[in-house]
């Protein structure tokens, strides 16, 4: 399905005067609104290929329809999102499901949609048909050297696919761990994993990054071998300068202070990027900002502050990606909502009066510090986010336009009501 420019323009025209009124108001409230809008225009959040279909749980999956049946259709879907919001200009692939048959053609197709290839993702959390050895008891951690070798080679293959497409990073989320006390020797599991990572790291091109994600639990329910930020940090410190920790918001124990973790990893020069989502109980993979929007803002507050302190480029020096599942929502609508929530949090973080905040902190004026942060959070920055879209040729209200254009109905017509996305 193609989203013609004139349809976006028509949509924007209808909403324009209301938008301009709101924009005028908020611009009078926020001093640096123009600079914020510019940064919002440039900010891009990658969409993972596996998020384009209906998610599920171990108890079942209630597919919608019109899901992408191929890598080409996945790119088309992300292209649609990017046309609607101009903030989703990258796609993150999942190997083996997304192995391109014709990389050159895929690159051309992506370029047509204005998309680049974000981090490539290896997968050893399940066995593929025809796979020689099983990952039932782990991959990079496995007590069996041959299984580790198979997993290492898979990762190296993923890097190669990434190179072909122009990606420049590899994300390793390792589901390895154990379900019962005694199953693993923790030290050996760590050492095996470290050795495996070192072999993968050796295959990482010089201009690439290796992101090592951590997760507290699931699918293993007693221990995870890269289980928290401290463990990921201890691996990436040993690996070298191209290795970084990746933070997924849903991968923590209850009540963890994620914004502090983010600040410290940034300080250490070891924060690599983000998987955005939201959660109430565990790795619920809900829409970003749907449950704890203030936490999302506080994280961005640390990101902006920490990146600026290190002179980092907001758009390039960290990896930004959504990693959510969509059990009860249309996946594309869900992704539009996630991107919107992330952009809002970013805009709010950019609007924080940092001079005043530093002063309050230096004076231990806790009340004032809270007022400053909450003022940024309570201020309605949605018109700034909308204006950034408008300037970039995208839609003032992406979800509304998506619905007006009956995108899902069109996709179902094209692809069928039973089309179920591959991967996950």
Residues in 124-143 at the binding interface with a copy of itself, rule: CB under 8 A? 125-127, 134-137, 143
Strands (E), 23-149: 47-48, 90-92, 116-117, 120-121
Q: Where are the beta strands (DSSP E) in 231-342?
A: 243-248, 271-276, 319-322
Interface with a copy of itself in residues 323-382 (CB under 8 A): 327-330, 333-334, 337, 344, 357-358, 360-362, 364, 366-367, 369-374, 377-380, 382
Please report how close the Cβ of residue 176 comes to a copy of itself at its closest, in angstroms: 12
Q: How far is the CB of 111 from a copy of itself (least distance, A)?
A: 30
Angstrom CA distances, 241 to 126, 207, 210, 272, 304, stand at 30, 11, 9, 11, 22
What secondary structure does DSSP assign to 263-280, as a single string? HHHHHTT-EEEEEE-B-S
Query: Residue 6 or residue 281: which is nearer to a copy of itself going by CB?
Result: 281
Applying CB under 8 A, which part among 30-38, 155-163, 297-305, 387-395 lies near a copy of itself?
Answer: 297-305
User: Would you count residue 306 as binding a copy of itself (CB under 8 A)?
Assistant: yes
By CB under 8 A, the residues from 35 to 54 that bind a copy of itself are: none
- Of 38, 47, 39, nearest to 84 (Cα)? 47
- Tell me the site size for a copy of itself, rule CB under 8 A: 112
Residue of 2, 9, 62, 409 interacting with a copy of itself (CB under 8 A): 62
Residue 80 CB coordination number (10 Å): 25
Q: How far apart are CA 31 and CA 11, in angstroms?
A: 29
Using rule CB under 8 A, residue 30 touches a copy of itself: no
The continuous run of DSSP H or E covering 339 comes out as: helix 331-351
Name the DSSP class of 59. Answer: T
Report in angstroms how near the CB of residue 134 gets to a copy of itself at its nearest. 6
Name which of residues 67 to 96 contact a copy of itself (CB under 8 A). Answer: none
Q: Kindly tell me which of 44 and 192 has the beta carbon lying closer to a copy of itself.
A: 192
Nearest distance from C-beta of residue 4 to a copy of itself, angstroms: 24
User: 251: which DSSP letter?
Assistant: S
If one asks whether residue 267 binds a copy of itself (CB under 8 A), the answer comes out as yes
Q: Which of residues 395-414 bind a copy of itself (CB under 8 A)?
A: 399
Q: How far is CA 96 from the centre of its chain?
A: 19
Query: CB–CB of 290/222 below 8 Å?
Result: no
List 195, 259, 317, 353, residue binding a copy of itself (CB under 8 A) = 259
Burial class (CB in 10 A: 0-12, 13-18, 19+), 289: buried
Q: Which of residues 225-254 bind a copy of itself (CB under 8 A)?
A: 227-231, 233-234, 252-254
Of 216, 307, 392, 412, which lies in the binding site for a copy of itself, with binding defined by CB under 8 A? 216
Which one of the spans 42-50, 104-112, 265-273, 387-395 is the region binding a copy of itself (CB under 8 A)? 265-273
């Amino acid at each position: 399905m193609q989203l013609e420019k004139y349809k976006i323009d028509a949509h924007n025209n209808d909403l324009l005067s209301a938008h301009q009124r709101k924009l005028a108001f908020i611009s009078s409230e926020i001093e640096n609104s123009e600079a914020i809008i510019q940064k919002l225009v440039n900010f891009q959040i990658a969409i993972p290929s596996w998020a384009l279909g209906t998610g599920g749980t171990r108890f079942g999956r209630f597919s919608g329809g019109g899901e992408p049946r191929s890598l080409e259709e996945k790119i088309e879907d992300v292209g649609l999102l990017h046309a609607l919001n101009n903030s989703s200009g990258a796609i993150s692939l999942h190997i083996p499901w997304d192995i391109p048959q014709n990389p050159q053609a895929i690159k051309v197709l992506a370029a047509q949609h204005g998309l680049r290839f974000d981090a490539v993702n290896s997968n050893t959390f399940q066995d593929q048909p025809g796979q020689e050895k099983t990952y039932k008891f782990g991959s990079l951690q496995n007590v069996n050297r041959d299984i580790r070798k198979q997993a290492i080679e898979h990762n190296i293959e993923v890097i190669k696919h990434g190179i072909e497409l122009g990606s420049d990073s590899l994300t390793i989320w390792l589901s390895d761990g154990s379900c019962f006390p005694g199953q693993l020797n923790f030290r050996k599991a760590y050492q095996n994993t470290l050795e495996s990572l070192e072999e993968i790291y050796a295959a990482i091109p010089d201009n690439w990054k290796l992101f090592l994600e951590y997760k507290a639990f699931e699918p293993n329910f007693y221990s995870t071998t890269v289980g928290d930020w401290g463990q990921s940090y201890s691996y990436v410190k040993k690996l070298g300068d191209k290795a970084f920790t990746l933070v997924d918001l849903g991968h923590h124990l209850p009540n963890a202070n994620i914004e502090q973790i983010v600040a410290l990893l940034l300080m250490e020069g070891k924060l690599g990027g983000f998987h955005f989502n939201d959660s109430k109980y565990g790795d619920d993979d809900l829409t970003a900002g749907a449950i704890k929007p203030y936490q999302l803002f506080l994280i961005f507050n640390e990101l902006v502050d920490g990146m600026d302190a290190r002179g980092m480029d907001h758009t390039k020096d960290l990896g930004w990606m959504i990693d959510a599942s969509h059990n009860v929502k249309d996946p594309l609508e869900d992704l539009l909502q996630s991107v919107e929530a992330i952009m809002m949090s970013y805009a709010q973080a950019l609007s924080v009066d940092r001079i005043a905040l530093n002063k309050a902190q230096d004076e231990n004026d806790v009340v004032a510090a809270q007022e400053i942060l909450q003022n940024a959070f309570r201020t309605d920055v949605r018109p700034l986010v909308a204006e950034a879209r408008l300037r970039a040729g995208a839609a003032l209200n992406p979800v509304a336009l998506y619905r007006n254009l009956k995108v899902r109905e069109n996709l179902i017509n094209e692809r069928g009501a039973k089309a179920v996305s591959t991967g996950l």
